[in-house]
Amino acid sequence: MTAGENPASKAEIKARRKGPSRAERRAEMIEKIMDAAEYLFSKHGLYGVTLKDVARRIDVHHTLINYYFDDKKQLFDAVFARRAVETSGRRMKALDDYEQQCGGQPTVEGALHAYLDTDLDTYIRGGEGWRNYAAFAAQVANTPEWGAEMMDQHFDPVVLRLIDLLKKALPEAKEEDIFWGYHFVTGALVLTLARTGRIDKLSGGICRSDDFESVKKRMARFMAAGLLEICEERQSGQG
């Protein structure tokens, strides 16, 4: 021990010897369960996965899963909510920052870059766990029975924030055109996040469904052009 260094307290030394606390072990196990479930749900959806499947993936008895989660739907909801809060928060901040940077005069492409690029960056930099979540969320978005309700609950505020910026960028546009434009944007994004591999086969390997960097270079520009086209066409038709 060097001069001036404070010796560890007896309590600290005792804690180190004992290892992780009960609360820490519980939190660690919950994360392991949710990581395993996230991977399986991303591949097979809600109905294609059992709690026994999740337990086998982390090599525990299935009754341990029931200790932390009452049933599969509760686990499914928890897995979805875990990252939804983070990705929605990032996009909300990006949209707020963009509006401030543009002095309250947004463009369609600028707003879409803030919304789409931020989300794609999350999956580019976040590793396989985030990419599993992306595919998982894509399945939820395409499940009419209960998926729309989950998307509404977690993502409506950030979607409506984007819509608000698009309305400011296109003050003369009809609301229905802006909402249809968003519908087409989110459809393309969800298909991309699903990573189906179809574009890989169609392009003979020139394009890859997991190449989010290439998607990021193109998507906002492509969608902005389409949205401007339908809005301007409607406006010119009324003249």
Report the percent of the chain where pLDDT is more than 70.
90
Give the Cα separation of 4 and 26 in Å (integer): 37
Neighbour tally for 46: CB within 10 Å: 19
Domain 81-238, classified CATH 1.10.10.10, yes or no: no
State both tokens at 95: 């949209």
Domain ranges of the chain: 81-238
DSSP-assigned states of every residue in 43-64: HHTTTT--HHHHHHHTT--HHH
* 176 burial via Cβ count (<10 Å: 0-12, 13-18, 19+): exposed
Give the Cα separation of 112 and 182 in Å (integer): 10
Instruction: Identify the pLDDT of residue 237.
Output: 47
Q: 72-106 burial, b for 16+ CB within 10 Å, e for fewer?
A: beebbebbbeebbeebbeebbebbeebbeebeeeb
Neighbour tally for 24: CB within 10 Å: 10
How far from 157 is each of 87, 91, 133, CA to CA, in Å?
12, 10, 20
Which residues in the chain come in under a pLDDT of 50?
235-239
